[in-house]
Amino acid sequence: MDALWFWIVAVMLAAYVVFDGFDLGVGILYPFVTRTEDERQQAIRSIGPVWDGNEVWLLAAGGTLFFAFPLVYASSFSGFYMPLMIVLWLLILRGLAVELRGHFKDPLWRSFFGGLFFFASTLLAIFFGAALANVVRGVPLGADNYFFLPLWTNWRTGANPGILDWYTVIGGVMALVALALHGALYLTLKTEGDLRIRARSAANRLWPLVAIATVLAVPATVVARPDSLHNYHAHPVALLSPIGVAVSLISILLAMRKHRELGAFISSCVYLIAMLCGAAAGLYPVLLPSTNPATASITIASSIAGPHSLKVGLVWWTFGTLLAMMYFCIVYWLFRGKVPEHADTYGH
């Protein structure tokens, strides 16, 4: 049960990154790949029917974490209170931008909400990457399993880091370029005309940046958290994650060169999943590492809920997840195909 719930949370977070990741990527690229109002509308319509549903996975992952590992949930939300509030506001602003932009045809109105869409999407990608880097690096847990992190200290990792340091900045930048590539491949798959051509060009330019960031991430993680490779030595099966990362990166490049849009996008999904699985494999069975030598890290065993709750919860989690998957299958089927260049809506 312990390992099962650990990987359930990991899978749900991976689902959020894959699905909402291309929404964020579209927002990041929005001012760079669109030139006309028709193209801006086309980019928004490509995610319009699905973006809000994609965020369900983030809510579900948070709820599952609260249910299965209440100590981690309480500790994390206390220490990361400020960045979590910022993320909440950015999610709200992004939703307002998508929903309100098309209400009026006034150029100033649409420019404002278009800029807000780009601003919120970009900062969300950076914050999510920095948040994952904070978890991988560790936090200064106290004896009561709570902690406080200032926004920054001396920009170094160590016993008393800040939310931002050299490692978490690398994590934020890596998430930014990876999700931008994910969004570019999605736009290439879902749009047509000049927007599709520019999205493909953006993907070609972003791929080397993602490859470089991926290569740098491994030694950076080892420096920030020296024991991060322990599980890879103890359990060689964990090496499937870095192998999956390398294979998916190469597959993205080959698929782009052969103009296989669906293959490139699926390879990007595999890349994101493999990266997250690699981080989870490096952490297991730790959920929140401690940088304080006097305090033990929060592990699965020390934070797991009671066995009866987990068994009952597994039944309801399975039922709810099946309903969510059915909804996603229906929505993505109804809005399959490319978004027309000159149309107010699309669907089948």
The pLDDT assigned to 343 comes to 63
Phi/psi zone of residue 289: left (φ > 0), alpha (ψ -120 to 50 degrees), beta? beta
Cβ atoms of 176 and 126 closer than 8 Å: yes
CA dist., res. 323 & res. 135, Å (int): 30
- Of 217, 221, 227, 218, nearest to 157 by C-alpha is 221
The pLDDT assigned to 174 comes to 96
Cβ atoms of 145 and 298 closer than 8 Å: yes
The pLDDT assigned to 346 comes to 53
The pLDDT assigned to 345 comes to 59
* Tens digits of pLDDT across the chain (348 residues): 888 999 999 999 999 999 999 999 999 999 999 999 999 999 999 998 899 899 999 999 999 999 999 999 999 888 888 888 999 999 999 999 999 998 888 999 999 999 999 999 999 999 999 999 999 999 999 888 889 888 888 888 888 888 899 999 999 999 999 999 999 999 999 999 999 999 999 999 999 999 999 999 989 998 998 888 899 989 899 999 999 999 999 999 999 999 999 999 999 999 999 999 999 999 999 999 999 888 899 999 999 999 999 999 999 999 999 999 999 999 999 998 899 877 665 554
Cβ atoms of 282 and 237 closer than 8 Å: no
Residue for token digits 């749900």? 12
The pLDDT assigned to 178 comes to 97
| DSSP symbols for 73-103 | HHHHHHHTHHHHHHHHHHHHHHHHHHHHGGG
- Rounded to 5°, the CA angle 11-250-195 comes to 85
Q: Which residues pair with 312 in a beta bridge?
A: none
| DSSP symbols for 199-262 | HHHHHHHHHHHHHHHHHHHHHHHHHH-GGGGHHHHH-GGGGHHHHHHHHHHHHHHHHHHTT-HH
The pLDDT assigned to 171 comes to 95
What are the phi and psi torsion angles at 142 (to 5°)?
-90, 180
CA contacts within 13 A on the Cβ side of 11: 8
- Which amino acid is it at 163? I
- Rounded to 5°, the CA angle 11-274-124 comes to 70
Cβ atoms of 135 and 288 closer than 8 Å: yes
* Statement: the pTM of the whole predicted model exceeds 0.75: yes
Residue for token digits 């797991």? 304
